[in-house]
């Protein structure tokens, strides 16, 4: 299981990569592995607002339907149409090709409340 060091992680199993003032968001390798084969993704549209800790979409797999929770607050500047059209990409490459949203951050300090790769890995071990 991968835990890239350059990402921040939420306890709801989403990741964030900061690119300038933009936060790129997706689900973690652990989350996709737990879900199994992803068959459907529902994401907000460009211009929609997302709020830290609140749902922003849904991911459906052969095992379950799970809400997606935003790790940061801001406005959607781009959604990954490729992941909506081909949700199986989440199982293949959750950290690069299968990002979900790009968010213009309302408050960059929210990133400080997220977990590092090591903290996230420890959190998963404790959750099992």
* pLDDT tens sequence across 2-37: 899 999 999 999 999 999 989 999 999 999 999 999
pLDDT bucket at 127, cuts 50 / 70 / 90:
confident
Sequence-distant (6+) residues with CB within 8 A of 72 are 16, 23, 25, 50, 52, 103, 105, 106, 107, 110, 111
Name the CATH architecture for the domain at 14-107.
Answer: Beta Barrel (2.40)
- Domains of the chain by residue range: 14-107
Calculate mean pLDDT across residues 105-126. 96
Q: Which residue intervals of the chain are DSSP H helices?
A: 29-35, 81-85, 89-92, 117-127
111, 23 contact by CB (below 8 A): yes
pLDDT computed for residue 8 by the predictor: 98
Q: What is the pLDDT of residues 71-94, one digit of tens each?
A: 999 999 999 999 999 999 999 999
Single pTM value for the model: 0.94
Residue 128 pLDDT greater than 80, yes or no = no
pLDDT bucket at 1, cuts 50 / 70 / 90:
confident
């Amino acid at each position: 299981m991968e835990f890239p060091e350059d990402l921040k992680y939420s306890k709801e199993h989403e990741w964030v990569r900061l690119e300038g003032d933009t936060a790129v968001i997706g689900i973690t390798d652990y989350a996709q592995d737990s879900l199994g084969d992803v068959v459907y993704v529902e994401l907000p549209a460009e211009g929609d607002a997302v709020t830290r800790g609140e749902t922003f979409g849904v991911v459906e797999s052969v095992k379950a339907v799970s809400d997606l929770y935003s790790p940061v607050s801001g406005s959607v500047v781009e959604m990954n149409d490729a992941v909506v059209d081909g949700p199986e990409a989440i199982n293949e490459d959750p950290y690069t090709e299968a990002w979900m949203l790009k968010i213009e951050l309302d408050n960059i300090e929210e990133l400080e409340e997220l977990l590092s790769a090591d903290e996230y890995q420890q959190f998963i071990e404790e959750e099992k």
